[in-house]
Chain A
Amino acid sequence: MAEIRIENLNKKFGDFVALKDSSFTVEDGEFLALLGPSGCGKTTTLRMIAGLELPTAGRILLDGEDVTFNRARDRDIAFVFQLFALYPHMNVRRNIGFPLLAQGVSRSEIKRQVEATARLLQIDHILEKPVSGLAGGDRQRVALGRAIVRRPKCFLMDEPLGTLDAEFRNVMVRELRELHTRIHATTVYVTHDQLEAMAMADKIAVMNHGVIEQFGTPQEIYDRPASMYVADFIGSPPMNFLAVTSALTKGSRSVAIGAAEVAVPEVVEDLDGGAVALGVRPEHIRFNDSATLRGSVYGVEYLGTTQIVVVETADGFCKARVSAGLRVTRGETVGLDLDTPKLTLFRRQGGKAIRTAPAPEVHHG
């Protein structure tokens, strides 16, 4: 098991910058999700860690050792490809045993380890089958089996659930997480699905256009998004942005949204007076008739336990997630109460979050 550290990693394809000045550390046994839309450089990052692509600049360290220019086979890393890349001319057993064969492990030992791995993944009944006829989930498990059979330093997975149907994906998300808990291998998991990342990862790196916008735990990323991009990418429906109409300075504790006054966490950095947006998640809005921020109900999306109410304010549409029991009718005027400790302020220019005093921690029990 190992720690993966990348330092100021850059990758250019000709003039195109696929990855820019990225640094992060995946600690031993940690599960990192690289999250971002298609084309943002996730696969490229993963391929550089694996040694399938050489960085233009920067370093990659495995357990403190600089492996930036080492060959893939000398890095002791396992890689689960997007389309699995199971060798079509071999059956399941030979696919899983293939990495051991390269290490010169004896035949009986290969047999033993392949079977142990297959039992762990519950695919011991299909060992003799050709891989071509396997269902998506089984292909997935065989690919995992081939990755874990030799106990590598770490696992890299490139959207391994991308081709599975939604129903089965949930099962695999749970299995993957359970597998991680069991063998505790350092893992970098690439996905464009925020729910997958949230459900599995210890840490998430949110990427956009070759830049890591934020690196942190799922909760940090959800509660304190570092940029409007992250705030918009995480959460469904995404965060609402309201235009702040008052001037903001260090120490401000409230902002004006049109005629309304909204309490916010204390601003703790100097500001240059540029336009500011107030970010609020739909689940942090409560209806309160006495609130000064007002709007009329434009539409309702019923979700069972909750409902998403689209409210038309002076500043545009704003979505609120409220209890499904609440009766709301279209056109009705409502007051919006925002949950002050959960609010985030952003500079419109560049979208970076404005630092505010940390919210007091809430403990249960």
Chain B
Amino acid sequence: MSAAAHSVVEPGLTSKRVAGAIVILYAVITMVPLFWIFATSFKTPPDSIAYPPKILFEPSIEGYCNLFTTRTRQTAEYIASLPPATSFCDETTRKRNMVIAGQSNFLPRFVNSLIIAFGSTFCAVFLGTLAAYGFSRFKVPLADDLLFFILSTRMMPPIAVAIPIYLMYRELGLSDTALGMILLYTAVNVSLAVWLLKGFIDEIPREYEEAAMIDGYTRMGAFFKVVLPQATTGIAATAIFCLIFAWNEYAFAALLTSGTAQTAPPFIPTIIGEGGQDWPAVAAGTTIFLVPILVFTILLRKQLLRGITFGAVRK
């Protein structure tokens, strides 16, 4: 069965090689900016703006030092009077006639991002799963219209609702709160979650729940014990899509958060160094910002792949 499905037309070696070359070329092209960010995060500020750009350079973690700290300029005499530097960051900072004054806002902003992105992803997937199950299994009045309505919330550009939401949030006291951002991202993601998960749940035969209900379980029991375990692939794929959106979202975050609830995306470009943008620090922030999504995606890559090719692959 599966063997037959895969050997529809076996592509020749040459076409395989050509396809492989194209894929690799594409991967390289898309990787260049990522690599550039990664490399820049290990440059010194002068190296990062050198012209022509330096491909080979002496790596430094100054960018990471600057990302996590705030610094003040001091006189050479004052710096000389200090006890010996205790860390690499201390030392590099002093070489530039500065001392570390405290922690920067990057860590709290990063934590905000984690809370808001994972919180909204959890809510969207939780609500989405229940709604998708309802749409999949019950006769919901006007189901098609409701599903269309849910999807239509994603049809207009987000910026169209930016002003109303801004005013509404200000009235409600949700501006610059994690709760506000979680609600917003949940609202945006839940439509995607309902549609994706409905597809996955439609694929799970009703017989499983019916068997469970005959075996003595309530519908809720059947849902949790029989449907949910079989929907894990779909749930994982949906969760990644939601997480990526919430993690990367910039426009609303810039508009609605400025202080305590600010997320990493609007924060990173505001990192200012001495006399201009501190590019290594910005690049360091971006590099660290990429890590959670990378880890999450690698952990769930099988599910994600099945989620993307879903429908094409059948048993």
Contacts and interface: CB of A to CB of B under 8 A. Distances in A.
Interface of A: 50-52, 71-73, 75, 77-79, 81, 83, 85, 87-89, 98-99, 102-103, 146, 150
A342 B50 CA distance: 107
B207 A81 contact: yes
B217 A102 contact: yes
Nearest to A85: B207
B207 A72 contact: no
Contacts of B226: 87
6 contacts: A52-B213, A73-B215, A79-B211, A85-B205, A102-B217, A146-B215
A79 B210 CA distance: 9
Contacts of A88: 230
Given A87-B226, A88-B230, A89-B230, A98 B212 contact: yes
Contacts of A83: 205, 207
A52 B205 contact: no
B208 interface: yes
The 3 closest A-B pairs by CB, nearest first: A102-B216, A85-B207, A99-B215
A103 B216 contact: yes
Q: Main SS of the interface on chain A?
A: loop
Interface of B: 205, 207-208, 210-218, 221, 226, 229-230
Nearest to A98: B215
A88 B218 CA distance: 19
A98 B215 CA distance: 7
Contacts of B210: 52, 72, 79, 81, 85
A85 B216 contact: no
Given A52-B210, A72-B213, A85-B205, 10 more contacts: A71-B213, A73-B213, A73-B214, A75-B214, A77-B214, A81-B207, A89-B229, A89-B230, A98-B215, A150-B216
Given A88-B230, A89-B229, A73 B207 contact: no
Contacts of A85: 205, 207-208, 210-211
B214 A79 contact: yes
A99 B216 contact: yes
A297 to B, nearest CB: 46
A13 to B, nearest CB: 12
A99 B217 CA distance: 8
A78 B208 contact: no
B205 A73 contact: no
Nearest to B218: A73
A146 B205 CA distance: 18
A89 B228 CA distance: 10
B214 A78 contact: yes
Nearest to B210: A52
A79 B211 CA distance: 7
Contact of A102 (B205, B221, B229): B221
Contact of B214 (A52, A87, A89, A103): A52
Contacts of B207: 81, 83, 85
Contacts of B208: 85, 87
Scoring B207, B214, B217, B230 by chain A CB atoms within 10 A of each residue's CB, the highest score goes to B214
A103 B212 CA distance: 12
A160 B218 CA distance: 25
Nearest to A83: B207
Q: Which of B207, B212, B215, B229 has the most CB of A within 10 A?
A: B215
Nearest to A75: B214
Contacts of B213: 52, 71-73
A88 B227 CA distance: 10
Contacts of B217: 73, 102
Nearest to B213: A72
A103 B213 CA distance: 12
Contacts of A77: 214
A39 to B, nearest CB: 18
Contacts of A89: 229-230
Nearest to A82: B207
A103 B218 CA distance: 12
A309 B208 CA distance: 49
A103 B215 CA distance: 9
Contacts of A102: 215-217, 221
A97 to B, nearest CB: 10
Contacts of B215: 73, 78, 98-99, 102, 146, 150
B48 to A, nearest CB: 51
A257 B221 CA distance: 66
Contacts of A50: 214
A88 B228 CA distance: 12
A173 B234 CA distance: 39
A321 B215 CA distance: 48
Contacts of A71: 213
B283 to A, nearest CB: 44
Given A87-B226, A89-B230, A102-B221, A81 B216 contact: no
A71 B213 CA distance: 9
A83 B226 CA distance: 16
A179 to B, nearest CB: 19
Nearest to A152: B214
A311 B214 CA distance: 53
A293 B215 CA distance: 59
Contacts of A51: 214
A96 to B, nearest CB: 10
B216 to A, nearest CB: 3
